[in-house]
Structure 1
């Protein structure tokens, strides 16, 4: 009887264990065969563009053009101011001359008469000297770093400096009596970066020593020329250059 009870308990326990095992196996299989699809939401990222790049480029170009226009107007105003100052200066000199002229006429009329007879072209010479002086001052203003009108190319800038050098030499030159049409002398001029003249040599003589000497003296009288501050431009165009003198012309 006891053996039958023990066998029944063992059988029941075995059945219970098998049932539990089947239950566990069935639960794991269900869990492993379950497919979970995690669908992430799809977002479209939108960036707010605060400024149209093409519009910004156009505005930048317009700003540059407007800046150039303002600079050009400023430079023209500076030149006009220089012209007005010069005119006022000449006007004051004329007024002072008009005020003092009666006094001279009353005190020494003979001297004035003799002076005018001795130099009948004195007044035109003074006017010409004033004109040349104004041209020189205007050229110096144009060549200044702040007030200069910017040339488009380096060649144009070099031509502006060369024109100023030519004007200075022309003012210094005294034509010798022996000068004749057809004569010409070529000089080679050496400068230092400050514009000072260190040497003037006759490259090709005219055959007339007086004419050659007058040309050399005209260059040396300047002692110093206005030259570009840029070292490369100076070395290229003004360290050593030639001057062609003619009795009826002067070419640089």
Structure 2
């Protein structure tokens, strides 16, 4: 609108502009109020409605793996320890095998000794029976006609003679058996003897040995010393290393000869 010099027109213009400005403010206020009312209404609607559940985003967690390099010195030490353990185990297994082999060899040796002694005893018994049969045969050949009383006396005398002969031969046989066992015991001791550096020709020591019926050694002492401590100790050690001797199975013969006995330790292979 073009200004004019008319005062009325200017007043009308200002009034019209003021009304227009007021209407704009009112309209803006109404629109702002409506907007806020709509927002508040939506918020209240979502707050009160329990059936509407907001889905949370799927949060995934990740573990980051980092390769840590092992300390070279520690790894070397571990390998060294593992190698030592393997070698130790290998030596242990080898020792077990060697011990088992030695045990089997010792059992075989003892079995052979036992069979040899049993064979000797059997041969001696057979020889004794043959001698008795020969005596009986000779007596029968010499038999003549006697009266009944004389025959009885002769039979009794012959029986007594045979019994005495058997007892004598049994005693001789027992002594022979004992000597066979003693010889074997001496061989066992010599076999387990280690010659000390100070041993000289002619040295000997008398040992007293105590056994149980199984032949196991329970005690051994020096009865007469050789005059050399090293030689005496080596003799005692040789007996203890044997651990068990072959002894008669008969209790009477064992108790008489091998429960407690002395052995003259005098190796024959000593040199000056």
TM-score by length of 2: 0.39
Structure-1-length-normalised TM-score? 0.42
| Higher radius of gyration, 1 or 2 | 2
